[in-house]
Amino acid sequence: MTPAARTQAAIELLDAVIVAARDGGAAADTIIARYFAQRRYAGSKDRRAVRALVYDAIRLLGERPQSGRAAMLALARDPPELMAHFGAGGHAPEAVADGEPVAETGVAPQWLTERLIAAGLTISDLQALLDRAPLDIRVNPLRSDADSVRSALEGAGPIAGLPMALRLPVDSQIERHPLWNDGAFEVQDAGSQAVSLAAGAAPGMTVVDLCAGGGGKTLALAALMANQGRLIACDADRGRLSRLTPRAERAGVTIAETRLLNPGREAEALEDLTGRADIVLVDAPCSGTGTWRRNPEARWRLTSQRLETLTRLQARLLDVAASLIRPGGSLTYIVCSLLDAEGGDQIERFLADHSGWHAETLALPLGTRHADGMRLTPAHDGTDGFFVAKLHCT
Ligand SMILES: C[S@@+](CC[C@H](N)C(=O)[O-])C[C@H]1O[C@@H](n2cnc3c(N)ncnc32)[C@H](O)[C@@H]1O
């Protein structure tokens, strides 16, 4: 592909990303993978270059742009050599027309920027939400140890405060590394590892991971439990939950049992656990404002209606979780969002509605105190953004 043809490919992809963001379609990564699956003539350098153009344009634009061309014209202001691709002939984009729209640059949609600022973030905190994410792994003590994994992976370095976490050069190809196959490590953001510690899981406990998804935190909990006790991994999404079993096998986790929940009727499938769990972890479905480094187009998807639906679901899941906890047990609530509506406000509501509960003052190796919990941000902690709180039932 010529450089100008790559620019045209990026425009076509951006058009698809914009439509998907508007209509709740596939993620940008999936759209790019599908595009190249149908264009085998594109070599790996072409793919890398086109992908970089698409993501550079997405990161540059806070509001969802009207078209891929408007997005690319905004990017073409700098570096200006991109502008020379327009009208270059062959597979290049058409020449720029007089008065053609150019998308406005920005960090996030106005309404979200306002809410994030209201949650105490600065503009540079917001800008850091769009940095390129590092590649972090969690060493699995059920299969290996941090020194062995570190010496086997080129460029691996420690992360202060997290003895089982290592940070690797961003482009490291590790997903099929022999040590990965052996279950010696999992790819997991350091922030995700830090907030998992908040639950205080220990050997012999009964732990419910209410929103386990593919099991990222379930596996971390199992390691903290030294594979002893009972770990019930639940989710309402059969596909996600089904990915947990092979991962657990690879990681040598034998205590995890999965339970599929019926949305809206979660408590029914958990009746036998009422008042019996030492710990319930609610890694709640959320807007993901803390993970824009990985999915920058997510900020083009979120609407205030979607946010409202999510906050209602989070409140309900907190109530379900509370019913499972034994007296003296604890509930850890996590969201990878930095909006107070999904973080501190949820805890405030919960405490107002549930007498006999209180929030613990957390002391995690990363993060800062925020509302009744702690907050991790890319700018402060070099991790994805999270809010975590721990509630005790007396
Ligand atoms: C933030 S993700 C969980 C990520 C996972 N804990 C991890 O560490 O990889 C939130 C999960 O909540 C699940 N979820 C959505 N609605 C739910 C419900 N009503 N009950 C339980 N889980 C639900 C989603 O399917 C999704 O997997």
Residue 288 buriedness (CB in 10 A; 0-12 / 13-18 / 19+)? buried
Q: What is the ipTM of this complex?
A: 0.99
Closest ligand 1 atom to Cα of 266: 20
Q: What is d(CA 169, CA 150) in angstroms, rounded to the nearest whole number? A: 12
The pLDDT, as a whole number, for residue 358 is 97
pLDDT for residue 247: 96
125 is an annotated ligand-binding site residue: no
Report the pLDDT value the prediction gives residue 4, as an integer from 0 to 100.
96
Ligand 1 pocket member 334 (CB < 6 A): no
Mutational pocket test of ligand 1: of 209, 211, 313, the residue with most ligand atoms within 8 Å of the beta carbon: 211
Q: What pLDDT shows up at residue 393?
A: 87
List, in order, residues 6 or more apart from 271 with CB less than 8 Å away. Answer: none
What is the reported pLDDT for 80?
81
Query: Is this model's pTM higher than 0.90 or not?
Result: yes
Give the CA count within 13 Å in the CB-facing half-sphere of 352.
7
Ligand 1 nearest-atom number relative to CA 335: 1
Return the active site residues.
336
Per-residue pLDDT of the chain (394 residues; tens, 9 = 90+): 999 999 999 999 999 999 999 999 999 999 999 999 999 898 999 999 999 999 999 999 999 999 999 999 999 998 788 999 999 999 999 999 999 999 999 999 999 999 999 999 999 999 999 999 999 999 999 999 999 999 999 999 999 999 999 999 998 989 889 999 999 999 999 999 999 999 999 999 999 999 999 999 999 999 999 999 999 999 999 999 999 999 999 999 999 999 999 999 999 999 999 999 999 999 999 999 999 999 999 999 999 999 999 999 999 999 999 999 999 999 999 999 999 999 999 999 999 999 999 999 999 999 999 999 999 999 999 999 999 999 998 8
User: 86 C-alpha vs ligand 1 centroid, how far in Å?
Assistant: 44
Does any ligand 1 atom lie closer than 6 A to the CB of residue 320?
no
Q: For residue 362, what pLDDT is reported?
A: 97
User: Where in the chain does DSSP place strands (E)?
Assistant: 135-139, 157-159, 162-168, 185-187, 206-209, 230-235, 256-260, 277-283, 325-335, 357-359, 368-370, 373-376, 386-393
Q: Is the CB of 211 under 6 A from ligand 1?
A: yes
Cβ contacts of residue 71 below 8 Å, gap of 6+? 11, 14, 18, 57, 58, 60, 61, 65, 103
The ligand 1 atom at the shortest distance from the C-alpha of residue 196 is: 8
CA dist 93 → 59, 60, 171, 177, 311 (Å) = 21, 20, 30, 40, 43
> 342 — phi, psi (to 5°)?
-100, -10
| CA 296 – ligand 1 centroid, Å | 20
- The answer, yes or no, to whether any atom of ligand 1 lies below 6 A from the CB of 235, is yes
Q: Cβ atoms within 10 A of the Cβ of 149, count?
A: 22
What pLDDT does residue 9 have? 97
Q: Is the CB of 46 under 6 A from ligand 1?
A: no
Residue-level pLDDT at 96: 96
Is 235 annotated among the ligand-binding residues?
yes
Determine the distance separating the centroid of ligand 1 and the alpha carbon of 124, expressed in angstroms: 30
